[in-house]
Copies of this chain bind each other. A is one copy, B any other.
C-alpha cells in the first residue's frame, strides 16, 4: 500500500524532500463551480453592473491565491509559478439556477507539481463569487472541486480524469 509521504518516521507531518526530483515543466488544470440562482446569474452574466465584472474580481482573487498556496496549505512547497490562466463557462443547473464552471490552468518549472495551486486558484475564485453575490442569496453552493489533468514529473504517470 502506498505511503502517505507527508509524514516522517515519528509519524508527524513534514514537508517532504523534493530536491532529488527533476526540474521539469509541470502543469495542472483544476475545476470548481458555483451554483447560483437566476437573479445572480443575470447580474453577473449580463454585466448589468456597468463596467463591473464579478468574474474579473474572482479571477484576480484566484491568481493571487494560487501564488500563496504554499502559505495556505501547510505541507505545500513554495513554487515559482510561471503562468496562470482562468476560464469561465455557464451551464444550466437545477431549476431556476445556473452553474458557473471555473477552471484554472497553472504552469511551473520545478521539482514538484502544481495540482494544489490549481485547486486553490479555483477555490478562491468560487469563494469570491460567493462573497460578491451573497447579499442577494446565501444559498449558493460551491463545488465539486477536482483535478482535471496534470502533466510533468517522472515518478508519476500523467494524470487525466
Interface residues of A (CB under 8 A from B): 1-8, 10-19, 25, 32, 39, 43, 49-57, 59-61, 63-65, 67-68, 70-88, 107-111, 115-116, 119-120, 123-124, 126-128, 130-136, 138-147, 150, 159, 161
Q: Which chain B residues lie closer than 8 Å to A3 at the CB level?
A: 135
Could you pull out 28 A-B pairs where Cβ atoms are within 8 angstroms? A4-B52, A6-B54, A8-B86, A10-B88, A11-B49, A12-B88, A13-B63, A14-B85, A14-B86, A15-B63, A15-B84, A17-B85, A19-B109, A57-B74, A67-B70, A73-B127, A73-B131, A75-B128, A75-B131, A77-B80, A78-B80, A80-B110, A119-B142, A138-B147, A139-B161, A142-B146, A144-B144, A145-B145
Interface of A is mostly: mixed
Q: How far is the CB of A85 from chain B (nearest CB, A)?
A: 5
The verdict on A12 contacting B59 (CB below 8 Å), with A80-B77, A150-B138 known, is yes
Known interface pairs A2-B135, A144-B144; 19 further A-B residue pairs with C-beta atoms within 8 A, sorted by A's residue number = A2-B39, A6-B57, A6-B135, A7-B52, A11-B49, A12-B55, A13-B132, A15-B81, A15-B84, A17-B83, A17-B85, A61-B74, A64-B71, A67-B71, A75-B131, A77-B81, A119-B130, A119-B142, A143-B143
